[in-house]
Chains A and B, each alone.
Chain A
Amino acid sequence: MSVTTIVMYASIVVGTGALFWGYSLASLDGPARWLLAAGAAWLFAQWQRLHWAASLGLLVFVGAAAYGLWAGLPASLMTLAAVGGLLGWDLAGVSHRLRLASSTDDVKKIEQMHMARVAVVSALGLVLAGVASVIRIRLSFELAVALVLLAGIGLTQVVSWLQRRGE
């Protein structure tokens, strides 16, 4: 089993664990068990090499983390779960791409370079999220307007992409 696969399974386990722990802390045992089952299903799907399962898994993790935040569950655990999901999704994509390599390709080199980059990106994401959760700022009107504009631009991009796809 390659390093990528091991880290991918570990990330999904960490993400599932964080969600389960966070939900259990708020005595939401029913949803916690469902999330545990979802994590196990994702692991099983990865084992069966079902490529589409990673995107679905990430959506479930992000959705559960967002709901957890809305319900007032610990932000650190929810962010950890989302980052775990992101890592699992990313590494599932890598292992899918590596499967297309031939036996003579230097797969280890690609794997190492990818692991180094994703580790830096995840760490940076976690640190920034941690810093953002410590430094609490009230959303000013201007910032809110800026966010609305950003969201508007994003939505425009999404709509134009959907239109291009439909043509």
Chain B
Amino acid sequence: MSRFNFLGLIVYTLLIATLFTLRGEFLILAIPFAVYLMAGFLFAPGEVQLEVSRHLSAERATPDTSVEVTVTVTNLGAALEEAQFEDVVPSQLKVLDGSPRSLVTLPKGGVHTLTYSVSGPRGGYAFESLKVKVNDHLAVAGSEVQFKSANQLFIFPPLTHLRHIPIRPRRTRVYAGSIPARAGGAGSEFFGVRDYQPGDSPRSINWHASARHEELYSNEFQQERVSDVGIVLDGRLRTNAFGRGHSLFEYSVMAAAALADAFLTQGNRVGLLLYANYLGWTLPAYGKVQRERILQALARAKTGDSQVFSALEHIPTRLFPPESQIVVVSPLTEDDVAPLVQLRGLGYQVMAVSPDPISFEMSYLPAKDPSVQMASRVVRMERGLLLRKLQHSGVQTLNWDVSQPFDQVVARQLHRPLGWLRTGR
């Protein structure tokens, strides 16, 4: 019940008591309350006319870094005796310093600034409105208004910069890049020998072959081009969630961000598919704008469960150009082998980047417990078998122990010469 209604009820009760008992004393008792109510009405605030603007010190941040929010309120209407401002902060953000609330007296034309800083976990956060509650000093009459002022804050996953990632899709695009295109032309890697053609540089003549066959032969180099890369981020709850509220998803997101950044830096066309309780598709494109789009999609990515997408077999292959590169970032389960092998069978070059769930679980389980040790040995063998099955099917695998930095693991495991890829399988 509002203060006005509460006091009004007291006054009218006393008035009715006066009428029923015909005793003026009750009327006397009502006088101070009536004076209070009238004073409240006399100083009641008029129409609230405010101009609200919000400024964020950064619209993109990394987890747990501080972002300063400044809200400026200008009073365009009559003076406000008591104005209470509350900036609506998204619930997952934590206020580190200052306060999103303020109680002030704002004269006509007066400006009030509210400053506070927030931080939070990965996500996309919308600041939408400022709640304003105005009343007179006795708080008898007042109103509550929400002023729209939209801002967005993206907290991106931490970005690890990776060096060149060797991939070898069967089909490349026409633009020059860094991926061997299985076609002769200008490049740095030897591709083959062909008949000398007028116009060939004398430097390209293969003198050994020419001397042996008494005809001139030229060396041919492999063209290097850009390619289509589709990153599939596994957001299924059943593969990412572990006991005691632990989740591998943040690591998967981090890996996907690092890979997307690296592939885009190499000049490739990159798309992202979030495979969770729905399919979140970021259309493939090139460059910095695409990097921003992918990071925004990753900032918003969440795990989810769905019966339809419980297995990887529903990855929509029509989203990826034929014979392009697909990178699946997933902790992987036994059921995921067949769909990945199927992708390989369709002609895609598949790379599985897998945050290791066993070493992750062992990091918070009692390692000295014999039953835990035994269980870990069994599941480690199972996982080893799973990864070997994938490798035998031509799927490039990267097993990532998340206690180690991702860039180091990539450097160690992916920069080996990919002999089996050179065969063009």
Contact = CB atoms under 8 A, between A and B. Distances in A.
A and B assemble together: yes
Interface of A: 55, 58-59, 62, 65-66, 69-70, 75, 78-79, 82-83, 86, 90, 93-94, 97-98, 100-107, 109-110, 113-114, 117-118, 120-122, 124-126, 128-129, 132-133, 136-137, 139, 144, 147-148, 150-151, 154-155, 157-158, 161
B84 interface: yes
Nearest to A121: B39
Interface of B: 1, 3, 5-6, 8-12, 14-19, 21-29, 31-36, 39, 43, 81-82, 84, 86, 98-99, 101-105, 114, 137-139
Contact of A128 (B11, B31, B43): B31
Given A70-B21, A82-B29, A55 B8 contact: no
A135 to B, nearest CB: 10
A102 B98 contact: yes
B28 to A, nearest CB: 5
A122 B138 CA distance: 12
Given A137-B24, A144-B19, A117 B39 contact: yes
A161 B18 contact: no
B5 A161 contact: yes
A124 B35 contact: yes
B200 to A, nearest CB: 77
Given A118-B138, A154-B12, A158-B9, A69 B105 contact: no
B14 to A, nearest CB: 7
B19 A151 contact: yes
B31 A125 contact: yes
B285 to A, nearest CB: 44
Contacts of A107: 103
**Most chain-B Cβ atoms within 10 A of its Cβ — which of A70, A121, A133?**
A121
Interface of A is mostly: helix
28 contacts: A55-B6, A62-B14, A66-B17, A69-B23, A69-B29, A70-B21, A79-B29, A82-B33, A86-B32, A93-B3, A100-B103, A101-B101, A101-B103, A102-B102, A102-B103, A110-B82, A114-B138, A117-B39, A117-B43, A117-B137, A125-B31, A129-B28, A129-B29, A129-B31, A133-B25, A147-B18, A157-B8, A158-B9
Contacts of B29: 62, 65-66, 69, 78-79, 82, 129
Given A66-B17, A117-B39, A126 B82 contact: no
Contacts of B21: 70
A56 to B, nearest CB: 11
Given A70-B23, A102-B99, A118 B28 contact: no
A120 B415 CA distance: 83
Contact of A97 (B1, B5, B26, B82): B82
B105 A109 contact: yes
A35 to B, nearest CB: 16
